[in-house]
Amino acid sequence: MAEVSEFRWPVRVYYEDTDSGGVVYYANYLKFMERARTERLRALGFEQDRLREEYGILFTVHSVQADFLRPALFNDALEVTAEVVRRRRASLTFSQQVLREGDDGTALCRGQVQIACVDAGSFRPCAIPEPVMRKLSDVG
């Protein structure tokens, strides 16, 4: 088994991410988490469009649980984690955090996101392809 390393993806808060008070709008934390999950899969060698082309699958969000702890503000430098904490035949559960960079990694938001593997044509649940599952098993 390969060494487990924490995956982090940098995000800068742009004006468009904030409300009129300069605070990140809550739904944008979910966008930040989505980007980190996508980049996590990319780092493992799996592009979303190629998963569809080669295996006929898509990953779709099934459920989200999020705790909003502190506000992120305009121009903050953030890091978003994305760790697979549960693998099942047709789903993955990610544990994620949005952290403020340079502030001792203060957690601003924590969440668990379950994604389902679905057939790209029917959108019905299907098994995660073995090469994908194997690579995910190698990292933790």
**Inside any domain, residue 1:** no
Model pLDDT for residues 40-61, shown as the tens digit of each residue: 999 999 999 999 999 999 999 9
- 99 with 108: CB under 8 angstroms? yes
Q: pLDDT tens, 83-102?
A: 999 999 999 999 999 999 87
- Tell me, yes or no, if 19 is annotated catalytic: yes
Structural domain boundaries, residue 106: 8-138
What is residue 66's predicted lDDT score, i.e. its pLDDT? Answer: 98
Cα 91 to Cα 126: distance, rounded to the nearest angstrom: 9
Q: Specify the number of domains making up the chain.
A: 1
Q: How far is CA 33 from CA 7, 63, 130, in A?
A: 12, 13, 25
Enter the tokens of residue 40: 């996590």
8-41 tens-digit pLDDT: 999 999 999 999 999 999 999 999 999 999 999 9
**Sequence-distant (≥ 6) Cβ neighbours of residue 39 within 8 angstroms:** 7, 9, 82
- The CATH number of residue 84's host domain is 3.10.129.10
19, 67, 103, 138: the catalytic one is 19
The answer to whether residue 114 is domain-embedded is yes
